[in-house]
Amino acid sequence: MITIKEVSSKKNLKAFVKFPFKLYKDSEYWTPPIISQELKTFDKKENPVFKDAEARLFLAYKGNELVGRVAAIINWLEVKNQDQRKMRFGWFDFIDDIEVSKALLNKVENIGKANNLDYTEGPVGFSNLDKVGVVTDGFDTIAPMVTWYNHPYYVNHYESAGYTIEKAYSESIFPFKNVKPEFFYKAQELIKRRYQLTALKFTKTEEVMPYVDKMFDLFNKSYASLSSFVEITDIQKEYFKKKFISFVNPEYIKFVIDKNDELVGFAIVMPAFAKALQKANGKLFPIGFSHILKAKKNSKDVIFYLIGIHPDYQNKGVHAVIFNEYYNTFTEKGIETCYRTPELEDNVAIHKIWKHFDPVVYRRRKTYRKSLA
């Protein structure tokens, strides 16, 4: 018999966060999160997303054994401002037992119906800066820290519960040697002169901070047309500053400004932390932090996390300026391999940007949907 219990204590929240450590203990490809950070994600005092969203967390038990978890999420900005009457769910993990996954999904669906929502979609987080999608292809590569990983049997559970594919994402890889500066060097010089643009270089995190709010504003503008987009609010900006910026080498953050010091393009690249996080196994202390610092300093692999161009400058080649800056930085750092985080497969514009580097898709993932009618 499957019993579903709602998380209502710090003890249960910790069990919720730590469940995947048991489920994936033998996996060489799963990347553990930092437990303390995951706990803060669901702390209403820590995470400002709860000013505009709500989440209820559930644990599944088979007898006395914990066998699954799910977060049922409603983002009210999405529901009220965008008229997307979506019941979100994420952090969805379970043993290979259809009764377990269906029982958890039933909880999600019932909450959606009680709030008069039209459909469920998952796995997704609270916003576009959270993890997204269940892996459907490419299980034999270590997962970057900014993505979820799952066992191959998950897909069958979605389909058995009557879910259909909602969105498709792909992740790709290319060796840095594929990057040929002749594709962008001359173009970026011309673009900078024509539009009076300047590329900013950073060596310290405090140099980045004055531009971070502008970056989030530009993120909202440049991603607004995507079907999955939910705006990042002012109060969330402060939270994401603390959560993400400290992980990023300042020299891996590239901003392009116009003559009025307004931001027209940005990109964030992160060192590959996955192997360091596997060694840390969820804990920063006593030695986890040292593994992360070592990866931050020495990793020869990088993850392209975000890139955004102001709508007024899209299709004007601003990405060439950004790529030129990264080429110089990566050459100096001896970078060997570049990874791209999940990108919507129907986002034609972003795929065109990368075409000259001959990227190879190594993993695909999907979100799944079910009508609540």
Within the chain, how many helices (H) and strands (E) appear? 12, 13
CA dihedral 176, 147, 149, 78 (to 10 degrees): -140
Smallest CA-to-CA distance from 301 within 342, 330, 266 is with: 330
> Which pLDDT value is given to residue 369?
98
Average pLDDT, the chain: 94
User: Do the beta carbons of residue 235 and residue 51 sit within 8 Å?
Assistant: yes
Instruction: Answer for the pair 142, 337: CB distance below 8 angstroms, yes or no.
Output: no
Per-residue pLDDT tens over the stretch 346-367: 888 788 888 889 999 999 999 9
CB atoms within 10 A of CB 341: 18
Q: State the fold for domain 7-170.
A: Aminopeptidase (3.40.630)
Lowest-confidence region among 153-167, 172-186, 188-202, 229-243: 229-243
Q: Look at 26-30, 241-245, 292-296 and tell me which has the smallest mean pLDDT.
A: 241-245
Exposed / middle / buried, residue 229 (Cβ in 10 Å: 0-12, 13-18, 19+) = middle
Domain 175-365 has CATH 3.40.630.30: yes
- pLDDT for the residue 64: 94
Res. 16 pLDDT band, cuts 50 70 90: very high
Q: How confident is the model at residue 242 (pLDDT cuts 50, 70, 90)?
A: confident
What SS3 class is residue 189? helix
Ranges for all domains in the chain classified under CATH 3.40.630.30: 7-170, 175-365
Asked whether the beta carbons of 254 and 208 are under 8 A apart, the reply is no
Full-model pTM:
0.93
Task: Write out the two tokens for 373.
Answer: 């009618």
Mean pLDDT on 66-87: 94
Does pLDDT of 254 surpass 90?
A: yes
Task: Tell me the per-residue pLDDT of 170-191, one tens digit each, with 9 for 90 and over.
Answer: 999 999 999 998 889 999 999 9
Asked whether the beta carbons of 167 and 122 are under 8 A apart, the reply is no
Residue of 129 and 116 predicted with greater confidence? 116
Residues in CB range of 373: below 8 A, 6 or more apart: 118
C-alpha distances (whole Å) from 116 to each of 20, 95, 105, 190, 371 are 31, 30, 17, 53, 12
CA 119 to chain centre: 22
Residues 6 or more apart whose CB falls under 8 angstroms from that of 280 comprise: 32, 34, 287, 288, 289, 291, 292
For residue 227, what pLDDT is reported? 64
The lowest-confidence range among 57-71, 95-109, 203-217 is: 203-217
Q: Percent of the chain scored above 70 by pLDDT? A: 99
Q: Distance of CA 177 to CAs 31, 123, 182, Å?
A: 27, 35, 13
Instruction: Return the pLDDT at 228.
Output: 64
Q: Which two tokens stand for residue 140?
A: 């034999």
Please give the distance of CA 12 from its chain centroid, rounded to a whole number: 25
Backbone phi, psi, residue 359, to 5°: -70, 150
- Rounded Cα distance between 236 and 47, Å, is 8
Alpha-carbon span 74 to 372, nearest angstrom:
14
Residue 358 zone, left/alpha/beta (φ > 0; ψ -120 to 50; rest): left
